[in-house]
């Protein structure tokens, strides 16, 4: 394991922030803690020698996706009544299923960690060139699949946002 | 696109234009004599008050900032007090237009700031000047048919002597 | 000999904040010049201390948080804005040997990351103020800044492809022969427009939109919290100008004069351009802004990437 101080610090921040995400009552506060968790993750990526992935994490997740989340939550105008109503939803029936699945994931992760070499190996900095070569070499199929997905999203967004003549005329 | 660039260029050329701002306290603006500034009460060429306390200025004033009281002495009407509240005055000049005797006049002086609001209420002593203002030769009592000491009826300029009623008898 | 990091950080903060403060005065003087008037010219020689007077005034104002606001987020929002802008300055190479945080091999992406986080400042300010004008401003800002970040990133890809690196220092060094503004003129134009939208400066200041939204996202802010927004906006102008200088105008390179001076001169000229834009242009409608972004700038920046790629392939040996 890589037990150096920065890694531990960022990991603690990430875990703490994630815990706060789950426990916050105000949606925006929860989202802000999620941003903090993502930033901490990015820092961990950087410590582990992947600055490109770290920066992409910040740009894509913290910078774009979470802003859209905040954007949507901003418009919902959730208040105290919603909070009280949501409290009644938290029953064992709702969280047991996801809890079991998460526990399975945790077990798999623990297994993988147990199999890893004890010192985690030396930190190798992976620069942008290597990422690009990997994406368009061994993983080119993944890139193509992702582009298909994005294209589908683009087409459906265009369909939804299309200005249909006559339908919205006054 | 071209229009935007042209706008930018033309605005940039204003670098060499002369500034239209007048740096007021250092350079005084040249105000025309008919500028509507501080209101004064003028005197006729004989050095007597022109105001006849007719109240027309007070009636014409749209913000009701003029108040006066009529008094009479030897057939001459004059204001017992004449008060202008300059904190309400809008310097519209209606009073000057309404005045039948050229008594109330607006001057090109506008520097009348005060720290205390009640100081902006000007009394007759503050308003009355010793000169004739914009109309040096006009004297109301000299052209009107009012009977005052030193000038009987019929003595005014371009006035015929009053008709003797007895001469009209058949 | 390099000074200790704390000194560097303190010095940078002092210089940047001082620069942003003086820029408030410089902008007003320049606007005055272009609009045939004086601007602030009373305090100190030529009004030079106007910024100081404004600073003193704003510091002594009541630090008012509206009772209906979300306190922690309300306080956090201006700090985020200031912080992200200042962070981005860390990787800008002023000269070949001198940038504040050293040379990062993903420097350009780091700048984009901090700018992306800067959106939070405006959006959260709009939300935390709990008032309709602020919320509308925040929503406009979110949509505008996310959209224009896309074109901003895409427009620089041509530069990155030509230079073969994300490191800002390498990018500047790749411009030794020819500044990128010539081969990448399309990218430069898109980047400049996106930069204006990203700092929500006039003519793209729709998140503030005084005549529609009061003051937009900072309607409820006063005192030094408003001052933080104000200063971070001006620091943002300097940042975008410095970025354009680095990416397209050859950074510190230039004959005769010392490199730092060249960098400062180019950045200063671009800042003046920003102010000229404010002096000259009216604000577009919001749908016009979005249409310009997605229908004009996005295709243009994609075209720029394709053309750059084609040229690079044709020129590649073998």
Q: What is the pLDDT of residues C168-217, one digit of tens each?
A: 888 888 888 788 887 888 888 889 888 888 888 878 887 777 777 777 78
- CB contacts of C36 in chain B (<8 Å) are 14, 17-21
Confidence band of A3 (pLDDT split at 50, 70, 90): low
For residue B121, list its beta bridge partners.
Answer: B85
Residue C225: is its pLDDT beyond 80? yes
Helix C132-163 and helix C185-198: axis angle, to 10°? 150
Residue-wise pLDDT for B96-117, tens only, equals 999 999 999 999 988 889 999 9
Q: Do B8 and C35 touch (CB under 8 A)?
A: no
> Could you tell me the CA-to-CA distances from B2 to A1, B6, B7, C295 in Å, in that order?
62, 6, 9, 19
More confidently predicted of C44 and B61: B61
Q: Please, which residues 277-306 of chain C have a Cβ atom closer than 8 Å to chain A?
A: none
- The annotated binding site of B for [4Fe-4S] cluster is made up of 51, 54, 57, 61, 89, 92, 95, 99
- CB contacts of A154 in chain C (<8 Å) are none
Contact C195, C189 (CB under 8 A): no
Confidence band of A145 (pLDDT split at 50, 70, 90): very high
State whether residue B49 is helix, strand or coil: strand
Report domain extents, chain A: 1-82, 127-161
State whether residue C73 is helix, strand or coil: helix
Q: Identify which of A55, A64, A127 has the shortest CB distance to residue C110.
A: A55
Mean pLDDT of chain C: 84
- Extract the tokens encoding C287: 């749908």
Tell me the CB-side half-sphere exposure of residue C57, using CA atoms within 13 A: 7
Confidence band of A117 (pLDDT split at 50, 70, 90): low
**B75 to chain C nearest CA, in Å?**
57
Chain B residue set in contact with C, beta carbons under 8 Å: 4, 7-8, 10-12, 14-15, 17-21, 23
Q: Do A29 and C116 touch (CB under 8 A)?
A: no
Average pLDDT over residues C1-29: 82
Q: What is the pLDDT of residue A165?
A: 67
- Extract the tokens encoding C202: 């006039």
Return the residue in A55, A72, A132, A157 with the most chain C beta carbons within 10 A, the one to mutate for interface testing. Answer: A55
For residue B79, list its beta bridge partners.
Answer: B70
Domain count, chain C: 1
Report domain extents, chain B: 36-144
> Could you tell me the CA-to-CA distances from B166 to B146, B153, C157 in Å, in that order?
22, 17, 113
* Nearest C-alpha neighbor of C159 from the set C226, C87, C196, C111: C111
Residue A68: is its pLDDT beyond 90? no
Look up the domain containing C189 and give its range. 62-315
Q: Do B14 and C38 touch (CB under 8 A)?
A: no
Confidence band of B94 (pLDDT split at 50, 70, 90): very high
Q: Do A56 and C109 touch (CB under 8 A)?
A: yes
**Interatomic CA distance for residues C315 and C318, integer angstroms:** 9
For residue A8, list its beta bridge partners.
Answer: none
Average pLDDT over residues C51-70: 86
Residue-wise pLDDT for C256-289, tens only, equals 788 888 888 888 899 998 888 888 888 888 888 8
Residue A4: is its pLDDT beyond 80? no
Mean pLDDT of chain A: 82
Confidence band of A101 (pLDDT split at 50, 70, 90): very high
- Candidate CATH numbers 1.20.120.1200, 3.40.50.2000, 1.10.275.10, 3.60.20.10; the one for domain A1-82: 1.20.120.1200
Average pLDDT over residues C233-248: 89
C70 touches chain A (CB under 8 A): yes
Helix C107-128 and helix C71-89: axis angle, to 10°? 160
Residue-wise pLDDT for B116-167, tens only, equals 999 999 999 999 999 888 888 888 888 888 888 878 888 888 888 888 888 8
Mean pLDDT of chain B: 88
Domain B36-144 has CATH 3.30.70.1140: no
Return the residue in C106, C128, C145 with the most chain A beta carbons within 10 A, the one to mutate for interface testing. Answer: C106
Q: What is the pLDDT of residue A170?
A: 46
Return the residue in B21, B22, B23, B24 with the most chain C beta carbons within 10 A, the one to mutate for interface testing. Answer: B21
From its phi and psi, is residue A23 left (phi > 0), alpha (psi between -120 and 50) or beta? alpha
**Interatomic CA distance for residues A125 and A149, integer angstroms:** 30
C252 in a structural domain? yes
Q: Identify which of C116, C123, C127 has the shortest CB distance to residue A62.
A: C116
Residue B18: is its pLDDT beyond 70? yes
**Interatomic CA distance for residues B118 and A159, integer angstroms:** 70
Chains A and B touch (3+ CB pairs under 8 A): no
Q: Do C139 and A75 touch (CB under 8 A)?
A: yes
- CB contacts of C276 in chain B (<8 Å) are 8, 11-12
Q: Do A67 and C116 touch (CB under 8 A)?
A: yes
Chains C and A touch (3+ CB pairs under 8 A): yes
- Extract the tokens encoding C276: 């000229």
From its phi and psi, is residue A120 left (phi > 0), alpha (psi between -120 and 50) or beta? left
- CB contacts of C139 in chain A (<8 Å) are 71, 74-75
Residue A23: is its pLDDT beyond 60? yes
């Amino acid at each position: 394991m890589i037990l150096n101080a920065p890694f531990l610090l960022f990991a603690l921040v990430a875990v703490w922030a994630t815990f706060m995400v789950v426990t916050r009552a105000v949606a925006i506060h929860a989202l802000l803690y999620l941003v903090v968790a993502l930033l901490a993750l990015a820092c961990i990526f950087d410590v582990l020698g992947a600055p490109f992935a770290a920066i992409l994490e910040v740009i894509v997740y913290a910078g774009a996706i979470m802003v859209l989340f905040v954007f949507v939550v901003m418009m919902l105008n959730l208040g105290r009544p919603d909070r009280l109503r949501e409290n009644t939803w938290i029953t064992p029936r709702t969280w047991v299923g996801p809890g079991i699945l998460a526990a399975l994931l945790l077990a798999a992760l623990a297994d993988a960690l147990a199999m890893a070499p004890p010192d985690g190996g030396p930190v190798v900095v992976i620069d942008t060139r290597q990422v690009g070569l990997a994406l368009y070499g061994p993983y080119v199929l993944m890139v193509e699949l992702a582009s298909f997905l994005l294209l589908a999203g683009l087409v459906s967004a265009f369909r939804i946002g299309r200005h249909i003549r006559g339908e919205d005329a006054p | 696109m071209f229009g935007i660039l042209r706008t930018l260029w033309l605005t940039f050329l204003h670098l060499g234009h002369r500034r239209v701002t007048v740096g007021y306290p250092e350079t005084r603006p040249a105000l025309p004599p008919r500028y509507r500034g501080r209101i004064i009460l003028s005197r006729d060429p004989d050095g007597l008050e022109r105001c006849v306390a007719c109240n027309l200025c007070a009636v014409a004033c749209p913000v009701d900032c003029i108040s006066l009281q009529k008094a009479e002495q030897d057939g001459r009407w004059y204001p017992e007090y004449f008060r202008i509240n300059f904190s309400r005055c809008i310097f519209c000049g209606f009073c000057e237009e309404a005045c039948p005797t050229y008594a109330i006049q607006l001057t090109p002086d506008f520097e009348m700031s005060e720290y205390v609001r009640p100081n902006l209420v000007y009394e007759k002593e503050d308003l009355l000047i010793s000169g004739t203002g914009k109309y040096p030769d006009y004297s109301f009592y000299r052209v009107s048919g009012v009977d005052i000491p030193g000038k009987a009826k019929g003595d005014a300029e371009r006035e015929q002597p009053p008709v003797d009623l007895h001469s009209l008898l058949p | 000999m390099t000074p200790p990091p704390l000194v560097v950080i303190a010095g940078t903060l002092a210089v940047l904040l001082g620069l942003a403060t003086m820029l408030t005065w410089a902008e007003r003087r320049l606007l005055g010049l272009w609009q045939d008037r004086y601007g602030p010219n009373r305090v100190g020689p030529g009004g030079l201390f106007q910024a100081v007077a404004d600073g003193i005034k704003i510091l002594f104002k009541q630090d008012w948080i509206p009772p209906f606001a979300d306190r922690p987020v309300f306080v956090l929002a201006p700090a985020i804005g200031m912080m992200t802008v200042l962070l981005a300055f860390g990787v800008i190479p002023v000269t070949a040997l001198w940038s504040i945080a050293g040379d990062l091999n993903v420097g350009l992406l780091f700048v984009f990351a901090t700018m992306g986080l800067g959106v939070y400042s405006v959006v959260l300010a709009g939300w935390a103020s709990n008032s309709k004008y602020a919320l509308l401003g925040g929503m406009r800002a979110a949509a505008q800044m996310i959209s224009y970040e896309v074109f901003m990133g895409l427009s620089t890809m041509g530069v990155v492809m030509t230079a073969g690196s994300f490191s800002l220092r390498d990018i500047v060094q790749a411009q030794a022969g020819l500044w990128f503004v010539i081969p990448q003129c399309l990218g430069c134009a898109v980047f400049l427009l996106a930069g204006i939208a990203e700092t929500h400066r006039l003519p793209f200041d729709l998140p503030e939109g005084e005549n529609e939204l009061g003051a937009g996202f900072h309607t409820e802010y006063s005192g030094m919290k408003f001052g933080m927004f104000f200063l971070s906006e001006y620091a943002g102008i300097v940042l975008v100008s410095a970025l354009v200088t680095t990416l397209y105008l050859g950074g510190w390179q230039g004959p005769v004069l010392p490199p730092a001076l060249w960098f400062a001169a180019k950045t200063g000229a671009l800042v003046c351009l920003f102010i000229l834009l404010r002096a000259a242009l009216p604000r577009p409608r919001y749908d016009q802004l979005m249409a310009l972004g997605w229908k004009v700038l996005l295709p243009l920046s994609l075209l720029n990437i394709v053309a750059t790629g084609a040229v690079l392939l044709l020129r590649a040996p073998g």
